[in-house]
Amino acid sequence: MVSTLPLFYICYLFNAIGNVCGGPLPNQILLTRWFDHHRGKAMGFAYLGIGIGGAIVPLLAYGLTQAIGWHAALMSLGVLLVVVAFPAAWFVREWPDDERGRLAAAAPLAPIAPVLRRPAFYLLLVGSMCSIGAVGGTVQNLKLYLSLDRELSQALIAQVASMVLVSSLIGRVLMGYLADRWSRKRVMLLIYLIVAVSIPQLFFASGTAGLYLFAFAFGIGLGGDYMIIPLMAADLFGVKALGRLMGVVLTADTIAESTAPMLVAAIRDHTGSYATGFVVLVTLAAIGAVAVAMLPSRVADGHGQQGH
């Protein structure tokens, strides 16, 4: 309903605040509090919502726009968000109603100053920033690369992008399943290696089969990339400090996710090719994998103390 640019910016600011307050961060904290032994599967299934919503909402928005115009379509989506999401957020409890939940809720908040002095926190921060930057740089430039450098048809580009999305749904559940059975550090390292290896496959793929192979492998890594970070952070630093620490990590990840695509695009504009930009993305993913490999194997208990 806005008619001036400043008011548009204000509305967009509130939209961003809503995304922060109702998006990944609080959901990650709630899931970590509620689930212990099956935390990986719970996180994986919950993250399916991002992929399913990402597939359904653009189609819904297009249909509403065609039927009632984009103004009414936007208002309808806003109402739908309140109707669907608000009741779930209102009725969910902060902690499970059992002895473990009551003890955890009563425990004092763990100080974060000692965590910020530990090298493990910065290894996790660097690892997540590099991997998220590599993923974001690839996703945001994928269609442009396939269109400008490879000169593929829009139909084939759409198929590759769709396969990435479908594969990411598989990756969320698969990596969540593995995270409950393997060391979270091993799963995180596997995800980061998949991202690092799949990006060159995109560049060197000579045919449709190679592009589909990239889309499947990259989607698996993409699906696991975001959900493994809070799982690893909870293992290393405990639940009682997780919200504040993930606030720092997600802020850093957002900076990487927004700057890496712009850097790759700027390199492409300067050189006329995505080759150098892809080298940058692979390097970022490799640095992220090295940082994760250097993380300690010790984990924190529910109160933020170190255990084995």
pLDDT of residue 66: 92
Least confident of 72-76, 98-102, 194-198, 272-276: 98-102
Average pLDDT for 108-135 = 92
Please say if the pLDDT value at position 99 is more than 90: no
Please say if the pLDDT value at position 207 is more than 90: no
Residues 126 and 78 in one domain: no
Q: Pick the last residue of a domain from 74, 106, 138.
A: 106
DSSP H helical ranges for 145-241? 154-179, 184-204, 208-237
CATH assignment of the domain containing 195: 1.20.1250.20
Residues 193 and 285 in one domain: yes
Please say if the pLDDT value at position 282 is more than 50: yes
Looking at per-residue confidence, does 276 or 304 come out higher? 276
Whole-angstrom distance, CA of residue 127 vs CA of residue 287: 7
pLDDT of residue 239: 85
Residues 72 and 183 in one domain: no
Q: Pick the last residue of a domain from 52, 84, 106.
A: 106
What pLDDT, in 10s, does the model give residues 3-49?
899 999 999 999 888 888 888 888 888 888 888 888 899 888 888 88
Whole-angstrom distance, CA of residue 58 vs CA of residue 65: 10
Residues 120 and 92 in one domain: no
Q: Pick the last residue of a domain from 58, 77, 106.
A: 106
pLDDT band at 206 (very low <50, low <70, confident <90, very high): confident
Residues 177 and 82 in one domain: no
Which residue bears the tokens 């779930």?
88
Residues 62 and 135 in one domain: no
Residues 134 and 95 in one domain: no
- For the ranges 20-29, 186-195, 297-306, the one whose mean pLDDT is highest: 186-195
Tokens read off for 201: 């496959």
Domain holding 21, by residue range, is 5-106
Average pLDDT for 202-229 = 91
Residues 65 and 125 in one domain: no
What pLDDT, in 10s, does the model give residues 12-22?
999 888 888 88
Please say if the pLDDT value at position 304 is more than 70: no
Residues 117 and 194 in one domain: yes
Residues 143 and 246 in one domain: yes
Residues 40 and 182 in one domain: no
Closest CA to 228 of 33, 18, 41: 41
pTM for the whole thing? 0.82
pLDDT band at 227 (very low <50, low <70, confident <90, very high): confident
Residues 198 and 73 in one domain: no
First to last CA, the chain: 56
Give percent helix, percent strand, percent coil of the chain, each to the nearest 5.
80, 0, 20
- If one counts the domains in the chain, the total is 2
Phi, psi (5° rounding) for residue 18? -65, -40
Please say if the pLDDT value at position 115 is more than 80: yes
Whole-angstrom distance, CA of residue 136 vs CA of residue 142: 10
Average pLDDT for 146-158 = 90
CA 263 to each of CA 45, 84, 152, 270: distance values in angstroms, whole numbers, following the listed order: 33, 37, 23, 11
CA 291 to each of CA 100, 157, 190, 295: distance values in angstroms, whole numbers, following the listed order: 33, 33, 13, 7
pLDDT of residue 299: 57
